[in-house]
Amino acid sequence: MIRSDEGSVCYGDGWPTHLWNAFISKLEALADGSVAEKLHSFLNSELLNSDEIVTLWRERVRAGEIVHPQKRLSIDTYWLPVPATFISWSPGASFHRTMTEALASKEATLRKPDLAKQAKYYLECTLLRLHGVTFGPDDYIEDRAYAVTRNVREIQESFEKLERQRIADPKLGLLDRFGF
């Protein structure tokens, strides 16, 4: 999380390297917490207010306007990190390696997650394959058992069709234009 070179979350998610390096340089000055909590603290801080990219990022995220409708700026060629508050199911939230394992867990039995929304989220993550992204043995995104479930199969074709249309659109295209 706290690197910006190839293989880092910054590089993998297409975030502006300059912004991420600015954030990383101020980690010690931010409130204690996870990287996500520190990113939220950085968003609400005055640190590096003279930095144009940091200022643009703050303006866009605070306004909830990640891409400005009238003007395109240098920051608009990137995906932007947006801090989000997550509330886990329990103080000692468990870790599941696959969707199959998570949906078979005690937490899922008690909380009854929306299976259609889970399938949509799974497909949104795995559609990266259409952009040439491959998942390695240490990536826990792809779950072949879950991919063949009814919930996923019912919407997979429409999701793939929509993503192929986005790829074909010259305004959108493949993610490789972001350096992937």
Q: What is the pLDDT of residues 16-37, one digit of tens each?
A: 889 999 999 999 999 887 788 8
pLDDT in tens, 53-68: 899 889 888 877 655 5
- For the chain, what percent of residues have pLDDT higher than 90? 25
pLDDT in tens, 117-164: 899 988 988 888 888 777 766 667 788 899 999 999 999 999 999 889
Instruction: Please check whether residue 116 lies inside any domain of the structure.
Output: yes
Per the structure block, which two tokens stand in for 37?
A: 């909590």
Burial tier of 88 (Cβ tally within 10 Å: 0-12, 13-18, 19+): exposed
What integer pLDDT is reported at residue 133 of this predicted model?
A: 76
Per-residue pLDDT at 74 exceeds 80: no
Instruction: Please check whether residue 69 lies inside any domain of the structure.
Output: yes
Per-residue pLDDT at 47 exceeds 80: yes
The domain tally of the chain equals: 2
Instruction: Please check whether residue 45 lies inside any domain of the structure.
Output: yes
Q: Which domain holds residue 153?
A: 99-178
Instruction: Please check whether residue 18 lies inside any domain of the structure.
Output: yes
Q: Which residue has the higher pLDDT, 59 or 176?
A: 59
- DSSP letter assigned to residue 5: S
Least confident stretch, 47-51, 76-80, 97-101: 76-80
* Angle CA 62–33–60, to nearest 5: 15
